[in-house]
Amino acid sequence: MNSYIHILLDLDDTVFDFPLSEKTAFNKTMEKLGIEDADSLRAVYTVENTKCWKQIEQKTMQREEMFWRRWANTFAAAGITSDTPYLEINSMYMEELSKLGIYLPGAEEFMKKLRSIPGITISLITNGTSQSANGRIRASGIGQYADYIFVSHDIGYDKPDVRFFECVLNTVKDTDKEHYLVVGDSLTSDIKGANNAGLPCCLFAKDGRFPEGAENLRIDYKTASYGEILNIIRG
């Protein structure tokens, strides 16, 4: 019998289709900048942006640097220049992104079913900037299913920092760690964070392709199905 009553749910690539939001926001931004072939440039951006976020997780880069660095690196790698300052490009992109809270297929139904389980609390836990994360939460309406929302930029710590999770535990106000279940798609932020904080965890892969590099991590559950997550919680 499981005893999970506080569900800590990651957003991007767990319930939100971040690649689709990112693609839409990126293409709109490039259109405004008059840059053609946005699809090729987006492939470069995805690589550079991911590198920056890994550095933030590892604390080798500050968030403020990331705001311009990801664009500087993208444009340099693609061999193009822009008259618009990188920070301004970032603002344009974030503005577009903040309007786009797009669910993965089946995810909204999952949220409704999760909400209908009696006696549980739901916390949304996301690494992201305040503007984009809170904007996308608002746009999607997902807040109606949640008791608590934790955006790393608002808290001051990013997953997998244990202080991010301490903030969650202090808010939920239950000291029994066995009552918590972290659900997320990322080994480096969600699963590592759950390991750091000593919380049970479930690795979710929307397409059934589980990431590599899990050797030194404790993963209590692995699933590609929202139904299975509900079954785990229902015990």
- Bridge partners, 60 (sequence order): none
- Bridge partners, 7 (sequence order): 122, 181
Given 7, 9, 12, 142, the residue binding Mg ion (CB under 5 A): 12
Given 4, 5, 9, 13, the residue binding Mg ion (CB under 5 A): 13
H helices within 58-150, ranges in order? 63-78, 86-97, 107-115, 130-140
Which H/E stretch holds residue 15?
none
- The pair of structure tokens assigned to 17 is 């289709």
Query: Shortest gap between Cβ of 185 and Mg ion (angstroms)?
Result: 4
Give whichever of 13 and 161 is closer to Mg ion, judged by the CB atom. 13
Q: Which stretch binds Mg ion (CB under 5 A): 11-19, 131-139, 165-173, 201-209?
A: 11-19
Cα radius of gyration (the chain)? 18
- The pair of structure tokens assigned to 180 is 């918590």
Rule CB under 5 A: say whether 57 interacts with Mg ion: no
Backbone angles phi, psi at 26, to 5 degrees: -65, -50
Given 10, 22, 57, 161, the residue binding Mg ion (CB under 5 A): 10
Q: Which stretch binds Mg ion (CB under 5 A): 8-16, 75-83, 84-92, 107-115?
A: 8-16
- Which spans of this chain sit near Mg ion (rule: CB under 5 A)? 10, 12-13, 185-186
